[in-house]
């Protein structure tokens, strides 16, 4: 009988399934690291990959606090400060002090950042579409659904 890792009401996950899942998630993490490095280089030649999620958050949330970025990305404040300084020097971010609490630093993306991001994102999406062009639409819908479900599980922990 196979070794059971976890049991739910409608299925059993075997050791082999759990190992296969771990391997696939590891491969996805590796692919994501390579993609982040490529994305950063496309934004600017010497930009470190760690700058990509910082810039993404600044683009999504104007005037986001530096503390909130550190919390969301689970990075230490000193490392984040160095990244923000680098992105600021590259012309991608601006820092301002919060008008209500002068201890809080607010981060905003610049027009240059938005423009470069859009250009790189278009290239990135073109590559994704090319890789998945032969996939049935149902498979893509299922992948979206399963990744969404997995992300919800991770956020709840």
Tell me if 145 sits within 8 A of 139, measured CB to CB: no
Rounded to an integer, the average pLDDT of 121-137 is 93
Mean residue pLDDT across the chain: 90
**What per-residue confidence (pLDDT) applies to 12?**
79
Q: What's the whole-model pTM score?
A: 0.79
Of the listed ranges 3-12, 29-38, 98-107, the least confidently predicted one is: 3-12
* Residue 45 CB partners (closer than 8 Å, separation 6+): none
């Amino acid at each position: 009988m196979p070794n059971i890792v976890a049991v739910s009401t409608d299925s059993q996950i075997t050791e082999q399934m759990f190992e296969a899942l771990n391997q696939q998630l590891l491969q996805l993490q590796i692919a994501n690291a390579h993609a982040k490095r490529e994305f950063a280089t496309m934004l600017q030649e010497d930009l470190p990959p760690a700058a990509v999620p910082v810039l993404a958050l600044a683009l999504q949330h104007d005037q986001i606090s530096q503390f909130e970025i550190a919390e969301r990305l689970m990075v230490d404040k000193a490392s984040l400060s160095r990244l923000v300084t680098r992105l600021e020097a590259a012309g991608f971010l601006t820092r301002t002090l919060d008008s209500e609490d002068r201890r809080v630093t607010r981060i905003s993306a610049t027009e240059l950042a938005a423009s470069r991001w859009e250009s790189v994102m278009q290239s990135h999406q073109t590559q994704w579409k090319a890789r998945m062009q032969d996939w049935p639409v149902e498979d893509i819908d299922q992948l979206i659904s399963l990744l969404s479900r997995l992300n919800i599980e991770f956020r709840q922990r």
